[in-house]
Amino acid sequence: MKRKDLILTVLAVLIGAALLGREYPVAGKVVIVTAMIFYLLVDVTRFISTARRLGKTRGTARARVVMWTVLLAITLMAAFGGKVSYFLLLVLLAVDYILTERQLQNKV
């Protein structure tokens, strides 16, 4: 699965889970936490390699490390605290999509 497709899939699941959470709050939170854990696990190797050489990386890579850390914090807050910030999740995934799009355009 390409990175852009992964981000769009997680966004679709996030929107569906937000709608599901209106009627069934626990089910909505479970779906969101599961989707975010899947997204973070797919990206964990890139995060670790970038975090290890953080002093030598560019701005885009540093932004991805910060976004990954914030997404992890939001996921843990949703899993253990029960509070989900849908807006912040949407904004972070949208920024990740824009950064991915810019990175793909620069490679061409």
CA distance 35 to 104: 24
**pTM of the entire predicted model:** 0.82
The mean-pLDDT minimum among 5-14, 27-36, 54-63, 77-86 falls in: 54-63
Average pLDDT on 31-60 reads: 85
CA dihedral 42, 45, 46, 48 (to 10 degrees): 130
Decide if 17 contacts 43 (C-beta within 8 A): no
User: 52-108, pLDDT tens digit by residue?
Assistant: 887 787 777 888 888 888 999 998 998 898 888 888 888 988 888 888 888 878 775
